[in-house]
Amino acid sequence: MPIRSLMKTSSDSIVNTVWRKSCLIVPSLITFDLSNLELQTRRIAESECDAVHLDVIDGQFSPSMPLGIETIAHLRKKTDLAFDVHVMAVKHDYFVDALLDIGVAQLTFHVETEAHIDRMLNRIRSAGVRAGVALKPATPLTTLEYVIETCDTVLLMLTNPGYSGTGNEFPVPYAERKIAALREMIDARGLDTSIEIDGRVSKAMIAKFAPAMVDQFVAGSVCISRVEPTTGLGELADLRRAILGAQSSGV
């Protein structure tokens, strides 16, 4: 019996088939034109995506503040997409409380700035939300040693948070090694913890790592053009269908 089955909390009782899908591709909202968020989420929903990735940044952890809490609260009323939220903050409490009130499906926070990781994970899961931790590229997997059993997901950043949109950042050279090591850790413990990757994720990377290595892919500017996002969204939908088709046929 997987260890996770002995540690379930109310978050496991939520009927949310989105996160059980193989090769879940989640478009990052900050890749799109932010002047009309309702239009962008509609485009995402029409492209066969079930979730949207939202970056909440405090301006200190990373030098950007693209989406505020009030904006996300208003957006929640405009779309049925599941919200996959990545909090990048020096202090998490305010953001986590506000996001839980708004209604999100999955919430990750950074281990580098959280003093009480177990407490925060349990706090999120007790609200019926999938909880996870995010790691910057150079943060070692040893930080997960005693908390991974409580994680519904682990988000590996392949670039430094907040900088990937500049075009000067590229996935770190040890990204594949880190992904493989995390997969080995999860499988060795018999967990059903998901692996999510973010930071200059390309279609080639999705094809390479899905579905055996990585479960969730945050699709940003490498895959989706801000000027014409519909084309990129369509290509991602085609890619996912091809991957799942190959998987079902045993290729």
Min mean pLDDT across 38-47, 54-63, 141-150 is at 54-63
Whole-model pTM?
Answer: 0.91
Helix ranges restricted to H, the chain: 37-46, 69-76, 93-102, 117-126, 175-188, 203-209, 229-249
Q: Residue 92: is its pLDDT beyond 90?
A: yes
pLDDT at 2: 40
What are the phi and psi torsion angles at 114 (to 5°)? -110, 120
Read off the pLDDT of residues 150-167 as tens digits, 9 standing for 90 and up.
Answer: 999 999 999 988 665 566
Q: Residue 196: is its pLDDT beyond 80?
A: yes
The catalytic residue positions are 55, 198
Read off the pLDDT of residues 10-55 as tens digits, 9 standing for 90 and up.
Answer: 344 433 557 766 789 999 999 999 999 999 999 999 999 999 999 9
137: left (phi over 0), alpha (psi -120 to 50) or beta: alpha
Q: Domain 3-12+19-249 in CATH: superfamily?
A: Aldolase class I (3.20.20.70)
Residue 126 CB coordination number (10 Å): 13
Alpha carbon distance 175, 171 (integer Å): 7
The alpha carbons of the chain give a radius of gyration, in whole angstroms, of: 17
